Amino acid sequence: MKLPSRTFSTEFNLRQLFTYAGLWLLPIAFLVIFYFFPLGSILQMSFSRGGAGLISPFLEAIQSESVGQILWFTIWQAALSTILTLAVGLPGAYLLARYEFRGKSLLQALSAVPFVIPTVVVAAAFYALLGPRGWLNLAAMHIFDLPTAPIQLMNTIYAILLAHIFYNTTIVLRMVGDFWSHVDPRINQAARTLGANQFTTFFRITLPIIGPAIAAAALLVFIFDFTSFGVILLLGGPRFATLEVEIYYQTISLFNLPLAAVLALLQLSCTLAMTIIYTRLTRRITQPLELRSRSFTQKKLTTWRSRFFATMIIILLFTILIAPLFALVMRSFTRLEPERGARTVESPGFTLDFYQELNINRRSSLFFVPPTTAIGISLGYASATVLLALAIGLPAAWALARHSKSPLNSFLDPLLMLPLGTSAVTLGLGFIVALNRPPFDLRASPILIPIAHTLVAFPFVVRSLTPSLHSIQPRLRQAASILGASPMQVFRAVDLPMVGRALIVAATFAFTISLGEFGASAMISRPEYPTIPIVIYRFISQPGAINYGQAMALSTILMLVAAGSMIAIERLRIADIGEF
């Protein structure tokens, strides 16, 4: 009688092993071909150009005082930006998770728009609001009759911190708020019944439950701030430089590829170390939960305290996230004209010239692309990115959640995050160098753009899906297996319906990331097939008020497309898809 039991157990373990290996096959193959191979090729070429040997660039970086200062600035500005982003985002995540109110879907949609916008447009939005000719300075100069701008935030650390909060708060709202919205409130009610106060209940009950989601959001925010490029370059000015900025400077300006390669490896090492710490932390504190639907966990704003809290949070979110966007939109309709007389204050004049100029090729450029074409190209790339990111990210998230105790997961999980910590300049050059021969001669293929976008997007897909997959009660899968369901049937009948909402969130991240991605696209895109961020950058890089206004107008169009997409997604989230 024991032999059949052993045989059944062996067959079952082999089936689990093959299933586990099959889940990782596609994600690993994708990373090897489109990440490690291009990255290794460009690093090999960079070090081979060093005339003093392989060790020389490392010694140069270690002995350089400026490199040490850049590394220290990169770390502390990212840490401070992450803390401030959590301080703004967590109250908003609680509001969106626990309360139902009028205009909530619109607030969620608008809060995601900053994440879509390219960093060059983020900088332009802050210049439109806080710059020397920004709306706040113009208003202050007009009201108090001042000859110069009183607010001087540009080219300071404060502008960098504000831009990082503006750019990354939606990560906290989405990842933490979505998970928090399904935590059963009866757990806290039971603790309060047993005598725990609100402070004790939050830190002893709520915080350990939502800790993995907060850690995941904080990690992603830190990595984005750690690898910040456009915000530092445009808002910080020449006084500030992160590792990413220095890699760009050493590569493009000085063509010092060996030192740039060392800095890229240093950036990758820091990212890998942070990811390893994160995965070990979440493995200790994450556990399956009894999650509930939003109709059960959310309530109306009935008391004056809840209404006051909601009002303050909404005002804070609109001030930080919406005010720069509103300033950008207004600037796209406004031409600043100097007032006559002794005063130097400029008065705004309404105009539609910037929008009309978008369809005019005054320079007779061979690479001129109408904005409607650029929008269609961007939407096509974003749709392809969603399909690729879900196809690669869902199996990886399932493997991480279903086999959380596997030793191989502790090695593979951090590797998924490495593309987020890789220099876009380095990776873009790697695509050009490595993907130049069959069967991967993709340098002239439009599919290369969605592939590059997927490298950045699919870690978000994995981080969005893993907590939801891991929270599914094992007894549900066990019951389905006892009834004769195969692993694929268990996935279709149990896992997939329960993580439908998380799938929509993951698809949202992939879609928005692709719409706003700029760094890698600028390196590998074909001139006749530009995305919206590249066309905006073309306008910003050219002098003149008309070009600046066209950049603001096209940025406004991008925001409208993004906001429309977010609103449509929020409408879909109202349905029963993914409700527990």
In a domain, 23, yes or no: yes
pLDDT in tens, 176-205: 887 788 777 777 777 777 777 777 787 787
pLDDT in tens, 305-358: 888 998 999 999 988 888 888 888 888 888 766 655 444 455 567 788 888 888
Domain that holds residue 58: 16-36+52-362+369-573
Q: Is residue 3's pLDDT more than 50?
A: no
Domain count, the chain: 1
In a domain, 198, yes or no: yes
Q: Is residue 391's pLDDT more than 90?
A: yes
* Sequence-distant (≥ 6) Cβ neighbours of residue 307 within 8 angstroms: 301
What is residue 561's predicted lDDT score, i.e. its pLDDT?
76
Judge if pTM exceeds 0.85: no
In a domain, 578, yes or no: no
| 88 contacts 313 by C-beta, under 8 angstroms | no
Read out DSSP for 313-350?
Answer: HHHHHIIIIIHHHHHHHHHHTEEEEEPSSS---EEEEE
| 506 contacts 460 by C-beta, under 8 angstroms | yes
Please report the beta strands in 20-141, taking only residues with DSSP state E, as ranges in sequence order: 99-100
**Contacts within 8 Å (CB) and 24+ apart, 328-331:** 328/121, 328/124, 328/125, 328/128, 328/129, 328/552, 328/555, 328/556, 328/559, 329/556, 329/559, 330/128, 330/135, 331/128, 331/135, 331/549, 331/552
pLDDT in tens, 110-141: 888 887 777 777 877 888 888 887 888 888 88
In a domain, 139, yes or no: yes
pLDDT in tens, 393-424: 989 988 887 766 677 777 788 888 788 777 77
pLDDT in tens, 361-388: 766 666 677 777 888 888 899 999 999 9
In a domain, 11, yes or no: no
In a domain, 579, yes or no: no
CATH number of the structural domain spanning residue 138: 1.10.3720.10
| 82 contacts 225 by C-beta, under 8 angstroms | yes
* Sequence-distant (≥ 6) Cβ neighbours of residue 193 within 8 angstroms: none
Please report the beta strands in 177-331, taking only residues with DSSP state E, as ranges in sequence order: 299-300
In a domain, 44, yes or no: no
Length of the chain: 580
| 169 contacts 112 by C-beta, under 8 angstroms | no
Residue 154 DSSP label: T
What is residue 163's predicted lDDT score, i.e. its pLDDT?
92
User: For every residue of 354-404, which 3-state class applies, written as one string?
Assistant: HHHHCCCCCCCCCCCCCHHHHHHHHHHHHHHHHHHHHHHHHHHHHHHHHCC
Burial status of residue 2 (CB atoms within 10 A of its CB: 0-12, 13-18, 19 or more): exposed
* Residue % of the chain over a pLDDT of 90: 12
Over the chain, what is the mean pLDDT?
Answer: 79
Q: Is residue 286's pLDDT more than 70?
A: no
Nearest Cα residue to 217 out of 467, 516, 563: 467
Q: Is residue 95's pLDDT more than 60?
A: yes
Q: Is residue 5's pLDDT more than 60?
A: no
Local structure of 185: helix, strand or coil: coil
pLDDT in tens, 425-447: 778 778 887 887 777 778 778 88
CA 513, 517, 521: angle at the middle one, nearest 5? 140
What is residue 166's predicted lDDT score, i.e. its pLDDT?
92
Which pLDDT band holds residue 575 (cuts at 50, 70, 90)? Answer: very low
In a domain, 6, yes or no: no
* Sequence-distant (≥ 6) Cβ neighbours of residue 198 within 8 angstroms: 192
Say which range, 44-53, 199-208, 288-297, has the weakest mean pLDDT: 288-297
* Sequence-distant (≥ 6) Cβ neighbours of residue 374 within 8 angstroms: 530, 531, 532, 534, 535, 554
pLDDT in tens, 493-551: 777 777 777 788 788 878 888 888 877 787 787 777 888 888 887 787 777 777 878 88
What is residue 354's predicted lDDT score, i.e. its pLDDT?
85
